Amino acid sequence: MIPLNWYLILSAVLFLLGVLGFFVKRNIIGLLLSVEIMLNAVNLTFVAFSSKNGQISGQVFVFFVLVVAAAEAAVGLALVIAMFRNRETLNVDRSNLLKW
């Protein structure tokens, strides 16, 4: 059987890859994809702990994370389309009208 901390380490690595992607990516859709990687890492942690403690609440909470991810992806992509219509580019560095 597989010890619990292997799953936790894998989840931490994936979460940090998501955070790194959030720093590095300049495309807005790339940022949204990095957020999805982070949410998936959290899902893995929930399910690993649910399996360790024998309670089902961890898996139920993954449902809610999934719903939130779906809602956020839908609204985020609608925003991306609206931004693209006005600006013709998806580079976040070009969305700097509010800069000093």
Partner 1 sequence: MIEAIFFLFAALAVGAAINVLVQKHVLYSALSLIVLLVSMSGLFILLEADFLAVINVIVYAGAIMVLFVFVIMLLNLPADEDGADRLRWLKFLGIPMALFLLFMILATLWNVGSETLVERQTAGTPEAIGRSLFTDYLLPFEVTSLLILIALMGAVVFAKKEL
Count of chain residues binding partner 1 (CB under 8 A):
71
**Pick from 96, 78, 97, 98: which is nearest to 32 by CA?**
78
Say whether residue 90 binds partner 1 (CB under 8 A). Answer: yes
Q: What distance in Å separates the CA atoms of residue 94 and residue 97, rounded to the nearest whole number?
A: 8
Say whether residue 27 binds partner 1 (CB under 8 A). Answer: yes
Minimum distance from CB of 45 to partner 1 (Å)?
10
Which helix H or strand E contains 80, and what residues bound it? helix 57-87
**Pick from 7, 74, 3: which is nearest to 40 by CA?**
7
Nearer to partner 1, 43 or 100 (CB): 43
Side-chain half-sphere exposure of 50, counting CA atoms within 13 A: 14
Annotate each residue in 64-83 with x if it binds partner 1 (CB under 8 A) or - if it does not, as one string. Answer: x-xxxxxxxxxx-xxxxxx-
Minimum distance from CB of 82 to partner 1 (Å)?
5
Annotate each residue in 31-70 with x if it binds partner 1 (CB under 8 A) or - if it does not, as one string. Answer: -xxx-xx--x--xx--xx-xxxxxxxx-xx-xxx-xxxxx
Minimum distance from CB of 25 to partner 1 (Å)?
7
**Pick from 75, 73, 76, 48: which is nearest to 62 by CA?**
48
